[in-house]
Structure 1
Amino acid sequence: MSKNQSLNFKGCSIFRYRIIASTLTGKAIRISDIRANTESPGLRDFEASFLRMIEKLSNGCMIEINDTGTKMRYKPGVLVGGTGLEHDCGKTRGIGWFLEALLCIAPFAKNPVAITLTGITNEETSLCVDTLRTVTMPLLKHFGISEGLELRVLKRGARPNGGGEVLFRCPVVKTLKPVNLVNIGHVRRVRGVAYASKVSPQVPNRVVDSAKSILNKVLPDVYVYTDHFKGNNAGNSSGYGVSLVAETTNGCLYGAEACAEGGQIPEDVGLIAAKRLLQEVSQGGFVDTSNQGIVLLLAVCCPEDVSRVRLGRLSPNTIKLLRMIRDVFGVVYRIKADDATKSLVLSCVGVGFKNMAKGIA
């Protein structure tokens, strides 16, 4: 692939993955028709904030946006990384929306990354920080990213005013390891955390009892602890929710979550999260729906060997991502249906991506 040639995209779908792919490959991209036919055209504030975060991690990147925000050009620089970084994620999208992208690019920076993100820690439109810590980050260990990887919740922040704060640390790697995430095993236990800010300590207990009322019917080993924040550590708004994780005998993790919104009572939040978790387990993939994109993208960046991963139903964003991977990396996933488990096994040969910014030890 020539780095002097720009890739052209239209629309705002999988915006983060386009920027990530451009950053990793060093190829400039142009995106046009960004919500051009809507009442409020152009980039949203959280997308502009995401670009500012990439700027903080990079040296020499160029971002050009037209007056209406419907067209932009991004020319990546060198991923420098660094410690002591800070970024305000705003109040439109949760911190998890930004962290998902960081998990894809931070391992390939020149220096280890330590960044403090502020904003909303738990909400319905993006993964909460608890699910990222307990489900998404362990997936990176399969690729050889483990020592020094940390996500610590310093303050909770619920909608609408946020006020949450998390510290994210990530080591750098020279290359990734090919993965074979096919053998699922059987679910052996469920763990989780029910969190609450600026509400009665009894609220998360009610959430836990409600979730366990369903999960204990199918599995005896269920433990959900409570995490109650108050004072300055509770953020600027009251809120509560729960994050659940199902673990199998082969180390497969499924995540599901629910946050209180629209006047939902604690019992409803617990029931919703438990049903979502059972739905994820029933789909039969090694990776749950929310983390399909991260695994597929990292597998492409592996050495020139075959990586395989079992997935359940592909989400619409995953399908778009597979097409983008074909266009940017020149890699086409081989998809084989497994009728016995009603799942899909996706395999590809990595492009042999190496972190050229990282010095040889």
Structure 2
Amino acid sequence: MGREKSRRLSGSRDFRQRLVLATLTSTPITMNDIRAGEGGLRPHEMSLLRLLDKVSDQHVIDVNDTGTKVGYKPGVVIGGKDLEHDCGVHRGIGYFIEPLLLLGLFARSPLSVRLKGITNDTKDPSVDTFRMVTLHMLKHFGVPLEGLELKIESRGAPPRGGGEVLLRVPNINSTLKAVNWIDEGMVKRIRGVTFSTNVSPKIVTRIFYAARGLFNKFIPDVHIFTDHRAGGFLPNCHVSRLWRICSC
């Protein structure tokens, strides 16, 4: 890591958060004892390092042969246009979107990246959660919605993936503002998505009517959108795990 003093950390806990905070604060870090005797870094963690390499410049990433030690000297987040990254099938695309959103806001130029892999699974937040909830929450922190987009072009289910999304993140010219957001308000409307891949369209229609019938018992303003993809990799059909419940 050169002559600069590096902050020494241990283990694999909070791997993404460590990389993001080190990048935003320009703090070199060294992570030791990463799953010693258990194979070191996992494939999705190596994939995250490769993604970080694509959106940054003037940085140094050093991984030892066993994958149990990572040295990271952050550089400059440059963003980029028309980038592509294969997230693999070990973790969902949501695992990679979270750090990209944080880093992309402070990049030198707007970020546009196409991510391929698993769009919906039980480990990570689904792409629907980011599109319908997270992106709208960012406006409360002063992030402009213009240029902020997550487009779902195809869905992919585990274990073979095959999904594809396009993420666009604008860069902000000022710091984020603090938010005192403790009033949950009253529920006024509910929005959701039912999706299916490689099964009969009738199944997603049945889910649509069943879900809307349940929510209509509590509130009349319910809109559930359907997304059926005939060319999915594996049979998969269920209601998106998180609904957008609006109180504004």
User: Scaled by the length of structure 2, what TM-score is found?
Assistant: 0.92
Aligned residue in 1 for 2:216: 216
Q: How does 1:317-336 map to 2 (within 5 A)?
A: none
- The one-letter code of the counterpart of 1:239 is N
Q: Secondary structure of the residue that 1:190 maps to in structure 2?
A: strand
Query: Displacement, 1:213?
Result: 4.8
Aligned residue in 2 for 1:136: 134
Q: How does 1:97-246 map to 2 (within 5 A)?
A: 97-145=95-143, 146-175=145-174, 176-231=176-231, 234=232, 236-243=233-240, 244-246=242-244
- The one-letter code of the counterpart of 1:123 is D
- The one-letter code of the counterpart of 2:154 is K
Within 2, Cα distance between the matches of 1:207 and 1:5?
56
Taking only aligned residues, the RMSD between alpha carbons, in angstroms, comes to 1.7
Aligned residue in 2 for 1:343: none
Query: Displacement, 1:64?
Result: 1.1
Q: Structure 1, residues 104-152: CA drift from partner, whole Å, max 9, x if none?
A: 1101001100000111111110011111100111111112222110110
Unaligned runs of 5+ in 1: 252-361
Aligned residue in 1 for 2:9: 9
Within 1, Cα distance between the matches of 2:32 and 2:199?
45
Aligned residue in 2 for 1:46: 44
Within 2, Cα distance between the matches of 1:197 and 1:119?
14
Aligned residue in 1 for 2:24: 24
- The one-letter code of the counterpart of 1:6 is S
Within 2, Cα distance between the matches of 1:201 and 1:248?
28
User: Scaled by the length of structure 1, what TM-score is found?
Assistant: 0.64
Q: Secondary structure of the residue that 2:160 maps to in structure 1?
A: coil
Within 2, Cα distance between the matches of 1:213 and 1:247?
16
Unaligned runs of 5+ in 2: none
- The one-letter code of the counterpart of 1:91 is V
Within 2, Cα distance between the matches of 1:215 and 1:115?
36
Aligned length: 243
Within 2, Cα distance between the matches of 1:160 and 1:248?
33
Q: Structure 1, residues 18-59: CA drift from partner, whole Å, max 9, x if none?
A: 10001100101111121225xx33100000000000000001
Whether the aligned pair in 1 keeps the contact of 2:156 and 2:163 (CA below 8 Å) is yes
Whether the aligned pair in 1 keeps the contact of 2:198 and 2:229 (CA below 8 Å) is yes
Which of the pair is proportionally richer in helix? 1
Identical pairs, percent: 47
Q: Secondary structure of the residue that 2:234 maps to in structure 1?
A: coil
Q: How does 1:236-315 map to 2 (within 5 A)?
A: 236-243=233-240, 244-249=242-247, 251=248
